[in-house]
């Protein structure tokens, strides 16, 4: 199945690339609305529950995340596996963060989220929600990184 771009954001932080690298993991987890019961399974894997609204209904999704393609302090990706509604809804998402050193000690941060393996019917109903969630999460990450830098 093809992957779909659901959100992309590029912003600048007034901090070194190394500082952004050290902060970004904590910032990501503190910027995810509805994340509960997070459990670190090992240095690259975690699971949690994600409470959200889909078509006006409150739902709880099982979330498993795995850090992949890590190239400190330049980039990393997180593969997210979501499941909910008694197994009727399953999606794979990939979120990539690229930190690029700029002049005068600034860092450019590029955030990109794609979704894969989302069947037609769930895509029809859930893609808009996934876009809004990713967009608001990227905005929160930007805001928090700029506050901490």
User: Where do the domains of the chain lie, and which CATH numbers do they carry?
Assistant: 4-148 (3.30.530.20)
Residue 11's closest CA among 76, 86, 108? 108
Question: What is the mean predicted confidence (pLDDT) over 120-140?
Answer: 78
Residue-wise pLDDT for 28-73, tens only, equals 988 887 888 999 999 999 999 988 877 777 888 899 999 999 999 9
pTM for the complete prediction?
Answer: 0.88
Other Cβ atoms less than 10 A from the Cβ of 104: the count is 5
Q: Are 76 and 97 in contact (CB under 8 A)?
A: yes
Rounded-to-integer distance, Cα 87 and Cα 89, Å = 5
Rounded-to-integer distance, Cα 53 and Cα 80, Å = 18
- Tell me phi and psi for residue 46, to 5 degrees: -145, 165
């Amino acid at each position: 199945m093809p992957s779909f771009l659901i959100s992309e954001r590029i912003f600048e932080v007034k901090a070194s690339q190394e500082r952004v690298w050290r902060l970004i993991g904590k910032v990501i987890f503190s910027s995810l609305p509805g994340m509960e019961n997070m459990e670190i399974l090992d240095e690259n894997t975690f699971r949690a529950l994600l409470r959200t609204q889909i078509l006006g209904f409150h739902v709880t999704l099982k979330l498993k995340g795995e850090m992949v393609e890590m190239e400190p302090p330049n980039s990393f990706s997180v593969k997210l596996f979501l499941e909910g509604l008694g197994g009727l809804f399953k999606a794979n998402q990939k979120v990539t963060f690229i930190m690029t050193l700029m002049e005068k000690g600034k860092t450019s941060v590029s955030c990109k989220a794609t979704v894969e393996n989302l069947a037609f019917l769930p895509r029809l109903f859930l893609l808009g929600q996934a876009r809004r969630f990713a967009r608001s999460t990227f905005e929160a990450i930007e805001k928090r990184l700029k506050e901490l830098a």
